[in-house]
Amino acid sequence: MASLFGHALVGVTLSNVLDTKNTRVLLVLAVISAILPDVDVVSFKLGYAYEHCLGHRGFTHSILFAVLWSLLASVLFGKKNKLLFFTVVLLSTLSHALLDAMTTGGLGVGFFIPFENTRYFFDWRPILVSPIGIKRFFSDWGLRVIISELIWIGLPCVVILIGNKIRRNN
Ligand SMILES: [Zn+2]
C-alpha cells in the first residue's frame, strides 16, 4: 500500500473537486473509501496467503468490490445525490488500488478478482511501498515513504485542491 495518509488525501481531493456543496458526509465517505481496501490486512491474521483472492490486495482492492461498496454507500447515504455519492465513493475506492499498483513492493493488485486472480502492477511505479503496521512506519523506511508520497501524491493533490479553489472563486 501507499500509506493511509496518501490514500486519504486522494479521497479528500476527489470529494473536494466533484462535490460543489462540500457535503461533510461525502468527504468522510471518500476518505474511508480511499482507505477501506486495506481492511484486508486482517487476512494475514486469518491465515490467508498474500496471493489468495481474499489476501492482501485481493478482493477488497478489486473493481467489483469498489462498485458494490459504492452502490451500498450511495443507497445508504446518498439521499437525493445518489449519483454524486456513487461517483465519488467509486473513484475514491478505485484510487486506492490504482495507487497500490504504482508502488514498488508487495504483490500486485487483484483488479479483476473474483473473475481472475492475477495481480497487476503498472509499468510506472514511483511510489515507495509503505510498511504494514504502525511500528514499522515510524522508521527510516516510513520517512522515505512520506517523502515519496509528498512528491507523487501530496504535490499533485495540493495543486488540484488549490486550482479547484481558484476556479470556484472565479
Ligand atoms: Zn492497499
Q: List pLDDT tens digits, range 33-76.
A: 999 999 999 998 899 999 999 999 999 999 999 999 999 999 99
Half-sphere exposure of 56 (CA within 13 A, CB side): 17
Centre of ligand 1 from the C-alpha of residue 2, in Å: 7
Q: Ligand 1 centre from 170 Cα, in Å?
A: 37
Is the distance from CB of 125 to CB of 105 less than 8 angstroms?
no
The number of folded domains in the chain is 1
d(CA 103, CA 101): 6
Task: Report if residue 169 sits inside a domain.
Answer: no
Is residue 121 within 8 A of residue 97, CB to CB? The reply is no
Domain assignment present for residue 15? The answer is yes
Establish if 145 belongs to a structural domain.
yes
Split at pLDDT 50, 70, 90, the class of 18 is very high
pTM: 0.92
Residue 156 neighbours by CB under 8 Å, 6+ apart: none
3-state secondary structure labels for all residues of 22-59: CCHHHHHHHHHHHHHHHHHHHHHHHCCCCCCCCCCCCH
**Does residue 125 belong to any structural domain of this protein?**
yes
Q: How far is the CA of 24 from the centre of ligand 1 (A)?
A: 24
Residue 103 lies in a domain: yes
Q: In this predicted model, what pLDDT tens digit does every residue of 132-159 receive, in sequence order?
A: 766 666 778 788 888 999 999 999 999 9
Distance 38 CA to ligand 1 centre (A): 5
Tell me, yes or no, whether 99 lies in a domain. yes
- 170 found inside a domain: no
- Going from the Cα of 160 to the center of ligand 1, the distance in angstroms, rounded, reads 23
For residue 21, the CA-to-ligand 1 centroid distance in Å is 29
Is 19 among the domain residues? yes
What distance, in Å, lies between the first and last C-alpha atoms of the chain?
37
Phi, psi of 5 (to 5 degrees): -65, -45
Q: Residue 120: beta bridge partners?
A: 109
Range of the domain at 120: 4-164
